[in-house]
Amino acid sequence: LQAVNTAFAAGVEQSAANSATLVQPEHMRQLLHILRTFVAVSKTCGPCFIDQMTHIFHNLQCYYVSYSAAIFHEIATHGEDISQYAHVKLMRSIKREFLKLIENFVASSEQPEYVSWQCWPLLMGPILEDYCNSIPPVRDAAVLSVLAACVEKLKGHLSGETAVITE
């Protein structure tokens, strides 16, 4: 996992230095591979993945928001048909892997307090906003799976935040 973490950190540094890197196909493919590795490791490690997640969570969230904005911009600029182009499909795949990772993390977490206080508030705003602002063809059903996993796992630890789901 050290090699994957090193590659992830290098990608984050590149993106921070030059935001155009985010939409370069090679960068997106590498990030997708890294996310798929994280998903596989999270399934294998289960609750132990919390240590890894604390290190990568903020950067993952930034990537999700950035790709959501990029997809929105592409569709606003070029129309709905752009969603079928390879670069937009790649961005959507990255977002989908992020959602799978979050769903696995939440479902396997043995620390619902941490998830409900540290992760839930930071995730739900951007994820739900993206879902609501996306046109139907690019809405991802994985958002609903993440919400279901969160509500199921965090039942007793959610209070006013659950109102966000029903809006």
* pLDDT for res 166: 44
Name which of 84, 82, 65 is nearest 126 in CA terms. 65
As a whole number of angstroms, the distance between CA 28 and CA 66 comes to 12
pLDDT tens per residue, range 9-51:
999 999 999 999 999 999 999 999 999 999 999 999 999 999 9
* pLDDT for res 159: 63
Name which of 110, 97, 105, 101 is nearest 67 in CA terms. 97
Segments in the chain below pLDDT 50: 163, 166-167
* pLDDT for res 90: 97
* pLDDT for res 163: 47
* pLDDT for res 3: 95
* pLDDT for res 95: 96
* pLDDT for res 165: 57
As a whole number of angstroms, the distance between CA 156 and CA 134 comes to 30
- For the chain, count helices (H), then strands (E): 8, 0
